[in-house]
Amino acid sequence: GAVVSQHPSRVICKSGTSVKIECRSLDFQATTMFWYRQFPKQSLMLMATSNEGSKATYEQGVEKDKFLINHASLTLSTLTVTSAHPEDSSFYICSARSASGPTDTQYFGPGTRLTVL
């Protein structure tokens, strides 16, 4: 149980284009989903918290107009990197908190490697 998927697993795009990453909870309903990014050899940095049906809460320093988050259902959240630039290249990971499980345990997706040329 508690499986989270991400799509795509890897994406390469040109500078200036937008990229959408999907995060799905496959076998549970997620009231809250989280988006992280990880730079090489560094820790996971929380970007934003997404609650189903409401606006995402962004961490300090994260541009909400650049990283658009939509949590349309209890099993799907999307992150859109708009007008991507090479400095946005990173490993993006989502996680989901089950509506019925341990409230403070997050289950992570496999991540998406974004490379902006």
Partner 1 sequence: DQQVKQNSPSLSVQEGRISILNCDYTNSMFDYFLWYKKYPAEGPTFLISISSIKDKNEDGRFTVFLNKSAKHLSLHIVPSQPGDSAVYFCAASVSGTASKLTFGTGTRLQVTL
Q: If binding is defined by CB under 8 A, does position 51 make contact with partner 1?
A: yes
Q: If binding is defined by CB under 8 A, does position 4 make contact with partner 1?
A: yes
Q: If binding is defined by CB under 8 A, does position 82 make contact with partner 1?
A: no
Looking at beta carbons only, is 49 or 82 nearer to partner 1? 49
Q: If binding is defined by CB under 8 A, does position 77 make contact with partner 1?
A: no
38 and 90 in contact (C-beta within 8 Å)?
Answer: yes
Q: If binding is defined by CB under 8 A, does position 102 make contact with partner 1?
A: yes
How many binding residues for partner 1 (CB under 8 A)?
Answer: 29
CA–CA distance, 16 with 66 (Å, rounded to integer): 11
- Residue 116, classified by CB atoms within 10 Å of its CB into exposed (0-12), middle (13-18) or buried (19+), is buried
Choose which of 13, 49, 66, 76 interacts with partner 1 (CB under 8 A).
49
Q: If binding is defined by CB under 8 A, does position 53 make contact with partner 1?
A: no
